[in-house]
Amino acid sequence: MTTILLTGATGYIASHTWLALQAAGFDVVGVDDFSNSSPMVLERLAQLSGRAPVFERANICDAAAVGSLFERHAIDATVHFAAFKAVGESTAKPIDYYANNLGGLLTVARAMREHGVHRFVFSSSATVYGEPERLPIREDAPLGATSPYGQTKLMGEQMLRDLGAAESAWQTAVLRYFNPVGAHESGLIGEDPRGTPNNLMPYVAQVAVGRRAALQVFGSDYATPDGTGVRDYIHVSDLAEGHVAALRHLFDQPGSITVNLGTGQGCSVLEVVGAYAAACGRDIPYELVPRRPGDVAACYADPALARQLLGWQARHGLARMCEDSWRWQSTNPNGFQA
Ligand SMILES: NC(=O)c1ccc[n+]([C@@H]2O[C@H](COP(=O)([O-])OP(=O)(O)OC[C@H]3O[C@@H](n4cnc5c(N)ncnc54)[C@H](O)[C@@H]3O)[C@@H](O)[C@H]2O)c1
């Protein structure tokens, strides 16, 4: 059996990836400190997979704890999700973001090297493209970050490139996610933001379920078809499959890769609101308000390289993303809090 270490394992994207990896025949060892997730995820994963998750609660910046994981489990590769991810918060707390996102990455990479494990999948983000000059965005587009969070992703990518240049044993897959949304088709796991959601779909979901009165749409005068911001929403289960494909690639072929994981389709805020209203059968009240500083008009991927290198492409459209999000939200109106 091939064993994969998942860091940030009980988080939104990792929990879906955990199921996809098991379904593909991998063994999984999960680690998380629950700084942004709930232990209840483990119960749901057990329910869905029919097996007890192999999991340890630890902070991945703790070198002794991470080293001990590699001592006790025969790990073949790491998928590194653990990070803080709120763009706005990163501007207010840059030290926390650099320490956790880069310190965690360094600690995991060092433990891997000490234990002769060199296959690494890194959660990067479309945020590394900053303000895109050209659409759709290809992997060779200019890079730039507009927040400390984005910087941690850019620097993480650079650290991995330097590591690969210094030690040829390393094989890394840098995956630049566009906008992950939706939930597992069972409705048992999904995104459970703490406090006010930073992203559009969880916010819309909370309006739909009655937790929030109305959505504020930031900017209706962009140069887009309906004036609202356009993004590349990708179903989290498709994203999870992208990780399976990336791991298979690392086990089958030498070298490192950097790929976009997106659908290639841009959807506007108002299209998302309309699709969500159709999925849940309720009106989504919204108001148009001025643009938010730092938001770009449009951002969507050129997904051709992932198709070519990994044989992977997203399968689910916006309607399915909204239906699955609604199933999760309506059956778990308070997320993982009972
Ligand atoms: N969700 C998105 O929109 C998005 C987009 C692009 C990239 N990403 C990246 O994907 C990864 C996963 O994102 P997500 O949306 O699932 O976020 P998430 O917050 O749901 O998951 C991250 C998990 O990491 C854990 N964690 C954080 N710091 C830790 C530490 N020091 N030790 C142990 N566990 C720690 C948290 O408790 C959480 O469970 C992150 O690296 C994020 O930056 C997310």
Q: What is the pLDDT of residues 165-174, one digit of tens each?
A: 999 999 999 9
Strand positions, DSSP E, the chain: 3-7, 27-32, 54-57, 77-80, 119-125, 171-177, 179-181, 215-218, 230-231, 233-235, 257-261, 267-268, 286-289, 298-299
With a cut of 80, say whether residue 139 has pLDDT above it. yes
With a cut of 90, say whether residue 338 has pLDDT above it. no
pLDDT of residue 293: 85
User: What do you get for the CA distance between the two ends of the chain, in Å?
Assistant: 36
**Closest atom of ligand 1 to CA, residue 153:** 43
Cα 152 to its chain centre, rounded Å, is 15
With a cut of 90, say whether residue 285 has pLDDT above it. yes
Probe target for ligand 1 pocket from 59, 123, 198, 203, with the most ligand atoms within 8 Å of CB: 123
User: Rounded to an integer, what distance in angstroms lies between the CA atom of residue 45 and that of residue 47?
Assistant: 5
pLDDT of residue 337: 86
Distance (angstroms) between ligand 1 centre and the Cα of 103 equals: 14
Distance (angstroms) between ligand 1 centre and the Cα of 175 equals: 14
Distance (angstroms) between ligand 1 centre and the Cα of 141 equals: 25
Q: Has 149 been annotated as catalytic?
A: yes
User: Rounded to an integer, what distance in angstroms lies between the CA atom of residue 130 and that of residue 146?
Assistant: 6
User: Rounded to an integer, what distance in angstroms lies between the CA atom of residue 13 and that of residue 175?
Assistant: 12
Residues sharing a CB contact under 8 Å with residue 115, sequence separation 6 or more, in sequence order: 67, 70, 71, 75
Probe target for ligand 1 pocket from 5, 6, 12, with the most ligand atoms within 8 Å of CB: 12
Is the Cβ atom of 122 under 6 angstroms away from ligand 1? no
- pLDDT band at 250; cut points 50, 70, 90: very high
**Percentage of residues in the chain with pLDDT exceeding 70?**
100
Is the Cβ atom of 9 under 6 angstroms away from ligand 1? no
Distance (angstroms) between ligand 1 centre and the Cα of 190 equals: 13
Closest CA to 185 of 321, 45, 23, 2: 321
User: Rounded to an integer, what distance in angstroms lies between the CA atom of residue 171 and that of residue 121?
Assistant: 9
Distance (angstroms) between ligand 1 centre and the Cα of 8 equals: 6
Q: Which residue puts its alpha carbon closest to atom 9 of ligand 1?
A: 123
Q: Of residues 12, 97, 149, 177, which has the active-site annotation?
A: 149
Q: Which residue puts its alpha carbon closest to atom 25 of ligand 1?
A: 8
Other C-beta atoms within 10 Å of 266: how many?
21
- pLDDT band at 148; cut points 50, 70, 90: very high
With a cut of 90, say whether residue 324 has pLDDT above it. yes
Is the Cβ atom of 335 under 6 angstroms away from ligand 1? no
**Token code pair at residue 121:** 């999948």
pLDDT of residue 213: 97
Contact 208/284 with Cβ under 8 angstroms? yes
pLDDT of residue 294: 82
* Rg from Cα positions in the chain: 19
Probe target for ligand 1 pocket from 85, 105, 153, 174, with the most ligand atoms within 8 Å of CB: 85
Is the Cβ atom of 11 under 6 angstroms away from ligand 1? yes
Biggest alpha carbon distance in the chain? 56
Residues sharing a CB contact under 8 Å with residue 229, sequence separation 6 or more, in sequence order: 218, 219, 222, 268, 269, 295, 296, 297, 298
With a cut of 80, say whether residue 100 has pLDDT above it. yes
Distance (angstroms) between ligand 1 centre and the Cα of 283 equals: 31
Mean pLDDT of the chain: 97
Hunting for tokens 């998750």 — which residue is that?
Answer: 53
Instruction: Compute the Cα dihedral for 260, 263, 264, 270 and give only its sign.
Output: negative
Strand positions, DSSP E, 146-199: 171-177, 179-181
Is the Cβ atom of 100 under 6 angstroms away from ligand 1? yes
pLDDT of residue 144: 95
Is the Cβ atom of 37 under 6 angstroms away from ligand 1? yes
